[in-house]
């Protein structure tokens, strides 16, 4: 049986409650971010249900300005009147430790019109329906190759969720979403050889829209492609990043574009870096939450500012930083829709579009990692970096350095051999100025849009 989507959060009622409770607490300025969600998910193991989960979650964060104009917050999952009153009291107490050197204010865009976006609300299916579909996907994946014996990490999930932003100045934002996700991570093993694994993921607005077949095929193809493996010799290589891998790398160094990190002195960029070259002239990077490929795009950020495309690098030159209200004020610009909510407001990217700068020759033309003699005669071996791991540990964002394990292939004369275990290391500033060019059309992934990216001279460490 399908369950229709109905709204749970009532912005008008919450506003009325907060106005009353804030007045009782002697608070005149406040804002509130709330969310609620209903999730169901299943995992399977060789045709049997492994775990079935359901969750009803509610959360609210209230932020208040005290008599001295200082800001404090408190978060809670208790949306009852008593819970909200306690949260206001907690926020008031915290506000006595607000930072007088940097006081957030309401976003000047908190009441600006939102961009219309096609985000269909899909009904939820029963958990037994989820289970049946995942069992079938697992069965198809196991049947795709005799070496694939298990799918140890898998999950099919659906969520209906709501976000709300209101403030004492009358701003009211509300967004309702339904999403579904599938991940399949298979393990393959051949006698006498090490196990190999890889996977795929798909997102959609509803279960019916999920590309289950594509996910199974991609997980199978990726896993099988690593069966024939060999160690790689340590050295410097020309590397070809998959769209997913390059997006992960850029995401890990997004402090380059983050005004909060710039002001805190932990970014490689500085206030005067805007307008200066950061990359090869044919690279452009835009943050665009509203791209249709971004399933579940947020329409507004934690401060109620509408999300919108923002050109970060254009023609290799750093053009804009991501901003909250407070950082935008410090830079003398408008907020960009990338804020969280807090006493000290965090700033983060949404969804990257990476590719060639329009009108500029996009580096070397006709790159093809599988060309029999490489992209040009005598070029030597290529390393294809399919996916990066352990970004939280191997990236020193404030230093620009990275050393990351990866799954990928060594390509010699057009033939691919999976790399057994290796890391790729370098400096992000060098990477951005060592791009050779792009290969193929851009691909939509959960974290952005990007083509294959060729980079010269990265250090690979292996056991060969």
Sites for other proteins among residues 133-172 (CB under 8 A): 149-150, 152-153
Task: Identify any residues that bridge with 338 across adjacent strands, giving them in sequence order.
Answer: none
Smallest separation (angstroms) from other proteins to the CB of 449: 27
- Our finding on whether 329 is near other proteins (CB under 8 A) is no
- Our finding on whether 190 is near other proteins (CB under 8 A) is no
Task: Find the binder of other proteins among 17, 58, 147, 211 (CB under 8 A).
Answer: 58
Smallest separation (angstroms) from other proteins to the CB of 427: 9
Strand ranges (DSSP E) for 228-357?
A: 229-230, 235-241, 283-287, 310-314, 317-318, 352-356
Residue 192 token pair: 């006498």
Those residues whose C-beta lies under 8 Å from the C-beta of residue 38, and which sit 6 or more positions away, are 54, 55, 56, 57, 124, 159, 160, 161
Pick 362 or 460: Cβ nearer other proteins: 460
- Our finding on whether 10 is near other proteins (CB under 8 A) is no
Q: Which of 199, 200, 331 shows the shortest CA–CA distance to 259?
A: 331
Contacts by 10-15, CB closer than 8 A, 24 or more apart: 11/164, 11/166, 11/172, 11/173, 11/174, 12/172, 14/164, 14/166, 15/166, 15/172
Task: Find the binder of other proteins among 135, 145, 187, 319 (CB under 8 A).
Answer: 187
Q: Which stretch binds other proteins (CB under 8 A): 19-27, 68-76, 113-121, 364-372?
A: 68-76
Pick 267 or 294: Cβ nearer other proteins: 267
- What is the contact mask toward other proteins in residues 377 to 416, using x (rule: CB under 8 A)? ------------xx-xxx-x-xxxx-xxx-----------
- Our finding on whether 421 is near other proteins (CB under 8 A) is yes
Task: Find the binder of other proteins among 194, 213, 276, 376 (CB under 8 A).
Answer: 194
Smallest separation (angstroms) from other proteins to the CB of 310: 25
If one counts every other C-beta atom within 10 angstroms of the C-beta of residue 320, the result is 18
- Our finding on whether 48 is near other proteins (CB under 8 A) is yes
- What is the contact mask toward other proteins in residues 26 to 45, using x (rule: CB under 8 A)? -------------------x
Smallest separation (angstroms) from other proteins to the CB of 165: 18
Pick 74 or 307: Cβ nearer other proteins: 74
How many chain residues are in contact with other proteins, going by CB under 8 A? 73
Smallest separation (angstroms) from other proteins to the CB of 208: 21
Q: Which of residues 75-134 bind other proteins (CB under 8 A)?
A: 75-79, 86-87, 90-91, 93-94, 97-99, 101-102, 127-128
Those residues whose C-beta lies under 8 Å from the C-beta of residue 190, and which sit 6 or more positions away, are 147, 227
- Our finding on whether 299 is near other proteins (CB under 8 A) is no
- Our finding on whether 349 is near other proteins (CB under 8 A) is no
Smallest separation (angstroms) from other proteins to the CB of 366: 31
Pick 10 or 463: Cβ nearer other proteins: 463
Smallest separation (angstroms) from other proteins to the CB of 94: 4
Instruction: Find the helix or strand (DSSP H, E) in which 20 lies.
Output: helix 11-24
SS3 assignment, position 188: strand
Smallest separation (angstroms) from other proteins to the CB of 11: 19
Compute the radius of gyration of the chain from its Cα atoms: 24
Phi–psi pair at 416, nearest 5 degrees: -100, 130
Smallest separation (angstroms) from other proteins to the CB of 403: 4
Q: Which of 448, 46, 72 shows the shortest CA–CA distance to 286?
A: 448
Q: Which of residues 230-259 bind other proteins (CB under 8 A)?
A: 234
User: What number of residues does the chain have?
Assistant: 464
Contacts by 190-197, CB closer than 8 A, 24 or more apart: 190/147, 190/227, 193/227, 193/229, 194/229, 194/420, 196/223, 196/226, 196/227, 196/229, 196/418, 197/152, 197/223, 197/226
């Amino acid at each position: 049986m399908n369950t229709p989507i109905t709204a749970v959060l009532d912005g008008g009622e919450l506003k009325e409650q907060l106005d009353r409770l804030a007045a009782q607490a002697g608070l005149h300025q406040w804002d509130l971010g709330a969310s609620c969600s209903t999730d169901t998910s299943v995992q399977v193991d060789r045709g049997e249900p492994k775990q079935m989960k359901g969750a009803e979650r509610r959360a609210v964060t209230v932020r208040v300005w005290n008599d001295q104009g200082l800001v404090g917050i408190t978060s809670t999952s208790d949306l009852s009147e008593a819970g909200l009153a306690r949260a206001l009291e907690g926020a008031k107490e915290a506000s006595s430790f607000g930072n007088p050197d940097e006081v957030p204010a309401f976003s000047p865009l908190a009441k600006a019109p939102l961009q219309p976006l096609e985000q269909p609300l899909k009904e939820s299916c029963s958990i037994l329906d989820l289970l049946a579909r995942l069992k079938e996907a697992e069965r198809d994946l196991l049947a795709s190759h005799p070496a694939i014996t298990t799918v140890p990490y898998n999950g099919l999930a659906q969520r209906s969720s709501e976000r709300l932003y209101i403030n004492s100045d009358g701003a009211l934002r509300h967004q309702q979403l339904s999403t579904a996700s599938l991940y399949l991570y298979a393990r393959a093993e051949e006698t006498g050889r090490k196990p190999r694994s890889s996977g795929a993921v798909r997102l959609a607005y509803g279960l019916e829209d999920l590309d289950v077949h594509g996910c199974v095929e991609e997980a199978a193809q990726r896993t099988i492609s690593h069966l024939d493996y060999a160690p790689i010799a340590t050295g410097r290589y020309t590397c070809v990043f998959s769209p997913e891998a390059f997006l992960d790398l850029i995401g890990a160094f997004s402090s380059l574009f983050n005004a909060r990190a710039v002001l805190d002195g932990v970014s490689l960029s500085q206030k005067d870096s805007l307008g200066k070259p950061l990359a090869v002239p044919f690279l452009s990077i835009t943050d665009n939450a509203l791209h249709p490929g971004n399933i579940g795009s947020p329409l507004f950020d934690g401060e109620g500012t509408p999300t919108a495309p923002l050109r970060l690098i254009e023609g290799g030159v750093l053009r804009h930083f991501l901003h909250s209200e407070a950082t935008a004020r410090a830079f003398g610009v408008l907020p960009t829709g990338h804020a969280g909510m807090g006493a000290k407001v965090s700033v983060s990217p949404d969804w990257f579009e990476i590719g060639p700068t329009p009108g500029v020759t996009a580096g070397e033309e006709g790159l093809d990692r599988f060309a029999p003699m490489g992209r040009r005669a005598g070029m030597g071996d290529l390393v294809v970096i399919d996916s990066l791991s352990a970004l939280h540990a191997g990236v020193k964002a404030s230093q620009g350095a990275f050393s990351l394990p990866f799954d990928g292939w060594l390509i010699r004369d057009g033939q691919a051999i999976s790399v057994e275990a290796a890391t790729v290391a370098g400096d992000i500033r060098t990477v951005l100025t060592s791009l050779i060019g792009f290969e193929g059309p851009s691909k939509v992934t959960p974290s952005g849009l990007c083509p294959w990216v060729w980079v010269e001279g990265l250090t690979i460490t292996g056991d060969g």
